[in-house]
């Protein structure tokens, strides 16, 4: 593709998001609300909407409120799972957690009561992620947290930090997660102490990032763990591919099936309003995304499933407008 063609595509994408972001801000104003069960998140401006795209050549498109930081929340599950697999091996981790979608809310305890072996259904719901967090390498929560932060820092090529205000707010109100953790311990599905595991999980959910960071993560995942900008592998390819499968089937809470059908790429959301999207390279000769890209979305007003209202609408519109799906 010529330099002029690349320039034209960049201009076209800039125009698309400059038009669509104000539209979705207005169209869905007042629809959904920031997560109320975490007091600090409740105070977030619900009108924020940001989008970031990152391409293998290093090109970045940033639109909307992209400079506003937010916390990973459930997107942290992706890195908890990959870190555990990198240290223990995927097969060992899957002895503790399954890979089946549930169709239930992300913090549901119902499946434990109905499932005879009590094994968490997948690592992308709270119960599964708490179990996997207990498997992280380290003698205490500090060491376990550091291992996940090291992976994130390796992907982003910069240090990451925990938003202490969000962490404290979440820690003080983590009643459902404490119930889940105690249920897991009762059923021998935690490899570490309940409080240590909850501390690890909650702090990792409180890591602060931006939409651009999510786009970089999505780009690395799209190329099976390889950073095309620095030309290095930061995630073993087998683990990156397996994680994308889990994101596609289980990454959007109990909206995962609809997201797969209507949006059509691997994604992972968090109740802070973030969406991590990854577009793998395509065999099709796509004029824009044939080499793959990473997508980061942020908009804190969420729906009853816990997903960003404006974010999903913007992402769906973009992917459909440019005929981008993995099938």
Summarised one tens digit per residue, pLDDT across range 201-225 is: 999 999 999 999 999 999 999 999 9
* CB burial string 116-154: b at 16+ within 10 A, e below: eebbbbbbbbbbbbbbbbbbbebeebeebbebbbebbee
The reported pLDDT for the residue numbered 291 is 86
Over 80: is that where the pLDDT of 284 sits? no
Known active-site residue 77: yes
Sequence ranges of the binding site? 74, 126, 170, 177, 201, 253, 271
Known active-site residue 24: no
| CATH class (in words) of the domain with range 73-205 | alpha beta
pLDDT above 70 covers a percentage of the chain that reads 91
Over 90: is that where the pLDDT of 80 sits? yes
C-alpha dihedral sign at 240, 241, 244, 246: negative
**Fold: same for 3-70+208-321 and 73-205:** yes
The reported pLDDT for the residue numbered 173 is 95
The reported pLDDT for the residue numbered 104 is 60
Look at 52-61, 83-92, 116-125, 185-194 and tell me which has the smallest mean pLDDT. Answer: 116-125
pLDDT above 90 covers a percentage of the chain that reads 83
Over 60: is that where the pLDDT of 250 sits? yes
**3-state per-residue secondary structure call for the chain:** CCHHHHHHHHHHHHHHHHHHHHHHHHHCCCCCECCCCCHHHHCCCCCCCEEEEECCCCCEEEEECCCCCEECHHHHHHHHHHHHHHHHCHHHHCCCCCCCCCCCCCCCCHHHHHCCCCCCCCCCCHHHHHHHHHCCCCCCHHHHHHHHHHHHHHHHCCCCCECHHHHHHHHCCCHHHHHHHHHHHHCCCCCCCHHHHHHHHHHHHCEEECHHHHHHHHHHHHCCCEECCCCEECCCHHHHHHHHHHHHHHCCHHHHHHHHHHCCCCEEECCCCEEEEEECCCCCCCCCCCCCEEEEEECCCECCCCCEHHHHHHHHHHHHHCCCCCC
Over 90: is that where the pLDDT of 287 sits? no
| Catalytic one of 93, 271, 309, 324 | 271
Known active-site residue 25: no
Report the DSSP pairing between strands 267-269 and 50-54: unpaired
| Catalytic one of 24, 28, 48, 201 | 201
Structural domain boundaries of the chain?
3-70+208-321, 73-205
Prediction pTM value: 0.94
Known active-site residue 160: no
| Catalytic one of 74, 169, 256, 308 | 74
Look at 31-45, 74-88, 183-197, 277-291 and tell me which has the smallest mean pLDDT. Answer: 277-291
Higher pLDDT, 66 or 102: 66
Those residues whose C-beta lies under 8 Å from the C-beta of residue 172, and which sit 6 or more positions away, are none
Q: Which CATH architecture has domain 3-70+208-321?
A: 3-Layer(aba) Sandwich (3.40)
161 neighbors 208 (Cβ within 8 angstroms): yes
Sequence ranges of the binding site for substrate? 74, 126, 170, 177, 201, 253, 271
Average pLDDT over residues 92-114: 75
309 neighbors 302 (Cβ within 8 angstroms): yes
Summarised one tens digit per residue, pLDDT across range 113-161 is: 666 666 898 999 999 999 999 999 999 999 999 999 999 999 999 999 9
319 neighbors 260 (Cβ within 8 angstroms): no
Residue 178 and residue 315: Cα distance in Å, rounded?
Answer: 33
The reported pLDDT for the residue numbered 123 is 96
The reported pLDDT for the residue numbered 105 is 52
- Backbone φ/ψ region at 156: left (φ over 0), alpha (ψ -120 to 50), beta: alpha
Q: Give long-range contacts, CB 8 A cutoff, 24+ apart: 91-94.
A: 93/123, 93/132, 93/135
64 neighbors 52 (Cβ within 8 angstroms): no
* CB burial string 182-210: b at 16+ within 10 A, e below: ebbbeeebbbbebebbbbbbbbbbbbbbb
Query: How far apart, in Å, are the Cα atoms of 257 and each of 72, 73, 97, 100, 157?
Result: 22, 21, 20, 12, 33
| Catalytic one of 25, 63, 77, 147 | 77
Known active-site residue 271: yes
């Amino acid at each position: 593709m010529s330099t002029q063609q690349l320039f034209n595509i960049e201009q076209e994408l800039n125009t698309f998001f400059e038009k669509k972001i104000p539209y979705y801000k207005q169209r869905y104003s007042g629809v959904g609300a920031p997560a109320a069960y975490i007091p600090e998140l409740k105070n977030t401006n619900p009108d924020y909407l940001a989008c970031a795209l990152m391409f293998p050549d290093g090109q970045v498109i940033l639109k909307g409120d992209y400079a506003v930081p937010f916390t990973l929340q459930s997107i942290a599950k992706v890195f908890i799972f990959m870190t555990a697999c990198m240290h223990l091996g995927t097969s060992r981790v899957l002895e503790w957690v399954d890979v089946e979608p549930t169709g239930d809310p992300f913090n549901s305890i119902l499946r434990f009561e109905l499932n005879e072996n009590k094994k968490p259904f997948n690592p992308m719901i709270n119960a599964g992620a708490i179990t996997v967090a207990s498997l992280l390498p380290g003698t205490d929560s500090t060491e376990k947290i550091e291992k996940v932060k090291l992976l994130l820092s390796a992907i982003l090529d910069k240090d990451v930090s925990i938003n202490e205000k969000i962490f404290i707010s979440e820690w003080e109100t983590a009643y459902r997660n404490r119930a889940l953790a105690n249920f897991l311990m009762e059923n021998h599905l935690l490899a570490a102490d309940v409080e240590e595991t909850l501390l690890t999980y909650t702090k990792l959910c409180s890591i602060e990032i931006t939409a651009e960071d999510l786009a970089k993560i999505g780009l690395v995942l799209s190329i099976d763990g390889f950073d095309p900008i620095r030309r290095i592998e930061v995630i073993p390819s087998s683990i990156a591919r397996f994680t994308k499968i889990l994101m596609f089937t289980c990454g959007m809470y109990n909206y995962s099936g609809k997201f797969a059908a209507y949006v059509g790429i691997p994604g992972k959301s968090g109740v802070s309003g973030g969406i991590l999207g990854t577009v793998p390279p395509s065999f099709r000769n796509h004029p824009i995304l044939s080499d793959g890209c990473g997508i980061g979305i942020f908009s804190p007003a969420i729906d009853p499933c816990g997903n960003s209202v404006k974010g999903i609408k913007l992402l769906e519109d973009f992917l459909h407008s440019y005929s981008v799906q993995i099938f």
